[in-house]
Structure 1
Amino acid sequence: MTDRTTRHNRRIHATSLGLTKLADGLIDPKLVLAWLMTALGAPAAMIGLLVPIREAGALLPQLFISGRIRATEAARHVWAMGSAVQGLAAGGIALAVLLLQGPVAGGAILACLAVLALARSVCSASYKHVLGKTVPKSERGQTTGLAGSLSAVGILGFAAILAFGPGPSLPLIAGAVALAAGLWLLAAANFTRLDEPAKAQAEDTEPLAAMRENLGLLKTEPQLRAFILTRGLLIATALAPPFVVTLSAASLDRLGWMVAASALAALVSAWVWGWLSDRSSRKVLALAGLLAALTLAGVALAGRDAPGAVSAALLFLLMIAHQGVRLGRSTHLTDMADAGSRAGFTAVSNTVIGVLLLLGGLYGAVAGLFGTVAVIWIFAAQSLLGARAALRLREVQRQ
């Protein structure tokens, strides 16, 4: 691969991934869609399904589709198709917001979100496969980190409008969701311009056969098991933010400020985490886990009486740690696997994590029995164990 081709591919990756990350921020189920469904009068039970549908729908199907993706000569078209379908589903959400009310609107939004999540699973299963074929190992983390930083600028602008403007309203949020739909469609068109080697990596397999083959990797690949253990422990950084916001509700009760904390964290840390991941992704996972553990311990000690500025700073640090986990795990998995096993490794890892995220609803029951602070202490301990597990991973950036 020539330097010119590498530069071209990096630009395509950074642009397309940045557009989709911006779209993700504009329809964040934990914040934006939850606010929308509340404003539309959807039942609380429907609102509680937003995150499970989004996360499980995006992860669980990958076990069945990775075999077909490995057999695809031009996997960039698979990713582009998934991005386009996400755009159409987001457009459906925007229409539901403008035309429907109550449980009917909630049901329509959940149905569109399910379609979006399934399409996202196609993108997730194919992306690392395409990234491994089109960008050299030493530049992958920087490329995805750059995309995160670029998208964060746009999300921060959206947060500023919400925080300093007239406040969130149905027309404004519907417009943001419609913009997200357009961004996914634009990213799909742009991604087809990648210079991808037209070479299939494996023969096509039936979904059930692919599932058995992929699950077999858990028996034969000890490093994959170690990686899944580390990633499983570090999902605390993804599950903790809603509990942190709940604990700090008095100071962080505005949608704009919550979106801003997440976007600013990505802006200031994504490229740095990506650069560090290209040197040692396992150390990035360990450092991010340690930062999350210390931050969550600070949240638990501060409790509900923490000043607004302290609560905002702690949420910001937690989102920085989450960015490190996301970029570290993505780079580690891509560099750990070769071209033939990358899609299978991704599918198995994402499927196991999808199941764990579904079980994450049990933390809500723990909070109901023992309080939010107890759950945050559990997340802190889990993050610390994840940091320790990360140090036991192999240095995959070394040949």
Structure 2
Amino acid sequence: MDKARIYNRLGKIYDRINNEEDARVCKDIPDDVCRYTPLNYFLIIISNTLTQLGDVLSNPKTVLAWLMNYVNAPIFLISFIVPIRESGSMLPQIVIASYIRRMPVRKWVWVVGSLLQFVSIAGIGIVALHFEGEKAGWLIILLLITFSLARGLCSVASKDVLGKTIPKTRRGRLKGYASSFSGVLVIVAGLFMIFKTNSDTGIEFYGIVLFFAASLWVLAAAVYSGIKEYSGETAGGGNALKEAFDRLNILKKDKPFRNFVISRSLLLSSALTAPFYVVLAQNQLGTDIYILGLFIIANGIASSVSAPFWGKMADTSSKGVMVKAAIITSALGILVFAVISWVPFLRESSWFYPFTFFILGIAHSGVRLGRKTYIVDLAGGNKRTDYVAVSNTVIGVILLITGGISALVSLISVEGIILVLSFFGIAGAWTSSRLPDVED
């Protein structure tokens, strides 16, 4: 089948799922690039689906934490893996963006970042098979730092490539489909782990899981390299660090962007509460491996079911999605606090925790899709790269500060932490409602 027929077939599928009729909507991208929109649309969906599944199979809150404990790594090293993975990919972005801005075509930055993530996760698998104790722990930490920096490359580049290749009012739906497809694959992974509960799952099994996860980034890089990206704006050749600090002035001068960063910071509550739902289940039901499988499945179903709807809503009002998702997160947290404190028959129920995690997964999916769509639509041209870099750098600092929140467990109850984070979510819903609309 020749390229023209492939493009024509992809165009028909694209028009059908996006309800395009007489003329394709191509807001804020050149007309000569519009004909490649269907191809780029599906290539981005496939690559995002692969990397999101890889993220689940190498999740620091579950797989990597278990792995480090299995190889007898020191506890103090295990406590660093979540902050490093999340904030390590965000903090350097303000400097990375200075170099990326000089590149007229930026998809190759994403490809390089994806290949580096493959090397990092595969390296962790090798370390798990051949090292133990503190040495294994430090090697995993070093590889996780590399992984986080590579994620930073992909994060900055992906937003810009998305903005250059996919028109407004179609970006949220794209993200929704990618999350939905990866959610289905996550369900399969969770069922597989439950199936393996009664068999011998030694270190070799988890090594294979990590190698498989690593291979997904290679496949994603190959798919992403096929995107048709036109040459965009470039910045001058100034000093990267100086440009980085100068770029922070965006927070001072750009009020809509500053308010978005404040809202995004408060909306971190949807992500920060997730591990405490797991801790509650462990405290009440025990630590059998099937419980972890149930949580993985619940999260996968939540993404699969809700992401397309959130994505479609985000194309109409991305700030509205942020508000609704934050309200769900906060209301759920308050409900869970009440149940744990005063409703013993629900507190001891085995279905209650996976169900609440399912609802939280729906809400968190909305928060992520809403804020990702909002920041891409808010910016234009080179401002998009700057917005993503500054926003992620600030959030990285906040994550490091809140990374020690687990220490509060010794001072207040787990459900108390969920309640406190729910109040942050309420504040995030209020600040998000005051953001300007960016879809028109």
Do the structures match in fold with TM over 0.5? Answer: yes
Whether 1:285 and 2:331 are equivalent positions in the alignment is: no
355-364 or 250-259: bigger deviation: 250-259
Whether 1:265 and 2:296 are equivalent positions in the alignment is: no
- 1:348 deviation in Å? 0.8
Whether 1:219 and 2:252 are equivalent positions in the alignment is: yes
Identity %: 35
Q: For 1:138, give the aligned amino acid.
A: T
Pick closer, same or farther for the CA change 1:137–1:378 going to 2, 3 Å: same
Q: For 1:96, give the aligned amino acid.
A: V
The two structures, once aligned, show a CA RMSD in angstroms of 1.5
2:233 touches 2:381 (CA, 8 Å); kept in 1?
no
Output one character per residue of 1:119-172: Cα deviation in whole Å (capped at 9) or x when no partner: 000100111111000100111111111111111122211111112333554222
Q: Superposition pairs for residues 251-330 of structure 1, below 5 Å?
A: 251=285, 253=287, 254=289, 255-303=292-340, 305=344, 306=347, 307-330=349-372
- 1:90 deviation in Å? 0.8
- 1:204 deviation in Å? 3.7
Choose which of 71, 79, 93 in structure 2 pairs with 1:48. 79
Match of residue 111 from structure 1: 142
Q: For 2:271, give the aligned amino acid.
A: A
Q: For 2:298, give the aligned amino acid.
A: A
1:299 touches 1:311 (CA, 8 Å); kept in 2?
no
Cα distance between partner residues in 1 of 2:406 and 2:35:
51
Q: Superposition pairs for residues 333-348 of structure 1, below 5 Å?
A: 333-348=375-390
Choose which of 5, 18, 25 in structure 1 pairs with 2:56. 25
Max Rg structure = 2
- 1:3 deviation in Å? 5.1
> Which consecutive residues of structure 1, in runs of 5 or more, have no partner in the other structure?
none
Q: For 1:247, give the aligned amino acid.
A: L
Choose which of 352, 355, 358 in structure 1 pairs with 2:400. 358
Cα distance between partner residues in 1 of 2:54 and 2:238:
33
Q: For 1:114, give the aligned amino acid.
A: I
Q: Superposition pairs for residues 126-141 of structure 1, below 5 Å?
A: 126-141=157-172
Cα distance between partner residues in 1 of 2:377 and 2:238:
24
Q: Secondary structure of the residue that 2:134 maps to in structure 1?
A: helix
- 1:213 deviation in Å? 2.4
Cα distance between partner residues in 2 of 1:210 and 1:142:
34
Pick closer, same or farther for the CA change 1:146–1:205 going to 2, 3 Å: farther
Output one character per residue of 1:235-267: Cα deviation in whole Å (capped at 9) or x when no partner: 011111111211221337333222222222111
Q: For 1:310, give the aligned amino acid.
A: F
Q: For 1:296, give the aligned amino acid.
A: G
1:66 touches 1:210 (CA, 8 Å); kept in 2?
no
1:20 touches 1:183 (CA, 8 Å); kept in 2?
yes
Choose which of 269, 273, 283 in structure 2 pairs with 1:236. 269
Cα distance between partner residues in 2 of 1:339 and 1:204:
18
2:171 touches 2:373 (CA, 8 Å); kept in 1?
yes
Cα distance between partner residues in 1 of 2:194 and 2:87:
31
Choose which of 420, 427, 431 in structure 2 pairs with 1:378. 420
Match of residue 173 from structure 1: 206
Q: For 1:290, give the aligned amino acid.
A: I
> Which consecutive residues of structure 2, in runs of 5 or more, have no partner in the other structure?
1-30
2:44 touches 2:224 (CA, 8 Å); kept in 1?
yes
- 1:4 deviation in Å? 3.9
Output one character per residue of 1:63-116: Cα deviation in whole Å (capped at 9) or x when no partner: 111122122111000111001110111110111111112222222211111100
TM-score by length of 1: 0.96
Cα distance between partner residues in 2 of 1:47 and 1:386:
30
Whether 1:203 and 2:203 are equivalent positions in the alignment is: no
Q: Secondary structure of the residue that 2:197 maps to in structure 1?
A: coil
Match of residue 38 from structure 1: 69
